């Protein structure tokens, strides 16, 4: 799994013109799922996301986690994170998992994040045409690949 984490002061996702989810201070996380992903990737990423110290402490140093600031989380599926652009100008998405593999993993990631965070998170809708809006705070943007954890 690849995630792109953005520290936000607010974020929302619209589907067919209606707001599906909206959050205040916290993280907007894009997630790309590939065929080899499994429960180990989900568990590792969930812990990494909620404990990542990217929020300012009282001295303005990025030293606090999402849990410590009681922040919100918006999780959006995005298969294009697995785009390969090595050949030609049209990206290939061969590494992105098909919906029958990706949807159960996406749903399990939602459940795991909610359990680890101790509250509901906002989500998009897998496979939907979504309009995502956010105010990137910092800006702070971090990419993590669960296959590069060592």
Choosing from 6, 39, 55, 78, the catalytic residue is 78
**Rounded CA gap, 131 and 141, in Å?**
19
Q: Is 80 designated active site?
A: yes
Phi first, then psi, for residue 141 (nearest 5°) are -140, 125
Choosing from 6, 39, 55, 80, the catalytic residue is 80
State the CB neighbour count (10 A cutoff) for residue 97: 21
Q: Is 126 designated active site?
A: no
Q: Is 25 designated active site?
A: no
Choosing from 6, 55, 79, 123, the catalytic residue is 79
Instruction: Name the strand (E) or helix (H) holding 56.
Output: strand 55-56
Q: Tell me the catalytic residues.
A: 78-80
């Amino acid at each position: 799994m690849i995630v792109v984490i953005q520290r936000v002061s607010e974020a929302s996702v619209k589907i067919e013109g209606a707001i599906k989810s909206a959050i205040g201070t916290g993280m907007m996380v894009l997630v790309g799922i590939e065929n080899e992903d499994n429960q180990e990737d989900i568990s590792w990423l969930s812990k990494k996301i909620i404990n990542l110290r990217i929020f300012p402490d009282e001295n303005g140093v990025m030293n606090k986690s999402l849990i410590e600031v009681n922040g919100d989380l918006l999780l959006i599926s995005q298969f294009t994170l697995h785009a390969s652009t090595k050949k030609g100008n049209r990206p290939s998405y061969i590494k992105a998992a098909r919906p029958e593999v990706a949807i159960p993993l996406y749903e399990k990631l939602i459940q795991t994040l909610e359990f680890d965070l101790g509250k509901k998170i906002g989500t998009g809708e897998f496979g939907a045409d979504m309009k995502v809006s956010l105010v990137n705070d910092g800006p702070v943007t971090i990419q993590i690949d669960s296959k590069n954890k060592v």
